[in-house]
Amino acid sequence: MGAPPAARLWRGGLLGVVAALIAAGCASHKHDVARDSFSSTAPFSRTFTGSGEIVCWSVKRALLSQGYMLDRPNDTVVLTGTRDFQPQPKLNVTVRLQATCADNKDGTSIVFATAVREESELQKMKQTTSVGVGPATLTMPSGSAQVLGVVRRETLHDPGFYDRFFSLVQGFAEQERLSQAAHREDDRSAQGHNQ
C-alpha cells in the first residue's frame, strides 16, 4: 500500500524545495557576462598624442620589443602578436595580444588592446588501430601519445598589464615624434644653406 496523500504531498514539496535550492546554488556560481561586458573603466584603450602612422608604428615596436611574434606584420591598423612561455615542464602558456589603431584626425590617436591567455597541458591520449577483415572491422588499442590540450582560456583584465603595454607605446611614440621633428629641422637647415 502506498504512503498516505499527506506524506506524498510533503515529500513532493520537500523535493521541490531541494531542487530550487540546488538550482539557486548553481545559478550563484555562474558569471554574469552581460553585466561585465561594458564598463567606462575598462583598461582596454588609451589615447595618445600623435598621428595614426606614428602611434601604430609604436604599437608594432612595443610588441616586437617584448618578444611577440606578429601574425600579419604588414597590417598597419590591426596588429596581433603571440608570445609563448613554459612555466612548468608540462604546461605551455600563450598570450595573444591584439591591438587596433585609429587616427582621431585631431592630432591624437586611440589604441584598443585585448589580450587572451591560454594554458595548455600535456595530456595522454589513447591511440587505436582499426583493421578490416572482410565485412568486419576490428579496433584495437595501439598505445598512447602525449598531446597539448587547452585547459584554460581567458581574456586578461589586469589594468597593470595594459598600463605597461601602453607605457611602452607612449615611449616609442615620443621617440618617433622627436625623430621626425629633428628630420624636419635638418631639412629646414639644409634648405636655408642652399638659398
CATH numbers and ranges of domains, the chain: 42-130+139-185 (3.30.310)
Q: What is the pLDDT of residue 18?
A: 46
Give 117-162 pLDDT, tens digit per residue.
Answer: 999 998 877 777 777 766 777 676 766 777 778 889 999 999 999 9
Percent of the chain with pLDDT over 70: 70
Contacts by residues 139-145 (CB-CB < 8 Å, ≥ 24 positions apart): none
Give the Cα-Cα-Cα angle 144, 148, 153 (nearest 5 degrees). Answer: 145
Give 23-52 pLDDT, tens digit per residue.
Answer: 555 544 565 655 666 777 778 999 999 999
Give 173-189 pLDDT, tens digit per residue.
Answer: 999 988 888 877 777 77
DSSP 8-class letter at 110: E
**Best CA proximity match to 71, nearest among 63, 80, 62:** 80
